Amino acid sequence: MDILDAIVGAQNGGATQQLGQQFGLSESQVSSALSALVPALSAGFQQNMSTPQGLDGLLSALGGGQHQRYVDDAGALAHPDTVSDGNNILGHVFGSKDVSRQVASRAAAQTGIGEGVLKSMLPLVAAMMMGTMSKQVTSAAASPQPGLQPGGSSLLGMLTPMLDSNRDGSMVDDVIGILGRFAGR
């Protein structure tokens, strides 16, 4: 299961329903927004995990945060703390607000949903992604598989299937493709 499927399926669709209610979007608009935002966020996470510092930071955040609540309790998405946490995640993933704005602008062009709505939704989607990855790490720690122990490059191996948007077994082409689209802008 990739990360987009995991987010859409969280709480049997309750999380996406919550997003729709919060932003006045239909179910198909929320799905379209997530389909545009999640790959860009995945590319940011992938790029971040490619450095030892980025991977250590992600491990620390996944181990120390309470991120699972964003996918376990759809109501958590309505709390102001979620936006703050999501903005902190975006800061780590993208490094600047300019990149977040570009992601929202690109998603608006792809979906027809207002850029302002997508900019407001982006921190919540980032929080949901962290929640999804946190659940994956916690699940793997509870029932470890050989070679997939949380930590170091094994975390990268464990999260690759979730972040590999075209399911070819490699995240590299996904990162290059998304970054190329932003550079060509």
What's the token pair of residue 160? 């690759």
So what's the pLDDT on residue 135? 82
Domain presence at residue 168: yes
**In the block, which residue shows the tokens 């207002």?**
114
Domain presence at residue 8: yes
Domain presence at residue 175: yes
Domain presence at residue 145: no
So what's the pLDDT on residue 178? 43
- Percent of the chain past pLDDT 90, that is, above it, reads 39
Number of domains in the chain: 1
How far is Cα 28 from Cα 57, in angstroms, rounded to an integer? Answer: 34
pLDDT digits (tens, 9 = 90+) for 36-73: 999 999 888 888 877 778 777 787 777 776 888 888 88
With CA atoms as reference, report the closest residue to 95 among 160, 143, 47: 47
Domain presence at residue 144: no
pLDDT digits (tens, 9 = 90+) for 40-50: 998 888 888 77
Which DSSP letter does residue 150 get? S
Domain presence at residue 95: yes
User: What's the predicted TM-score (pTM) here?
Assistant: 0.77
**In the block, which residue shows the tokens 């609540």?**
69
How far is Cα 158 from Cα 105, in angstroms, rounded to an integer? Answer: 31
Domain presence at residue 43: yes
Phi-psi label, residue 64: left if phi above 0, alpha if psi -120 to 50, beta otherwise: alpha
Query: What range defines the domain where residue 42 resides?
Result: 3-139+150-183
Q: How far is CA 12 from CA 5, 31, 79, in A?
A: 11, 14, 20
Domain presence at residue 126: yes
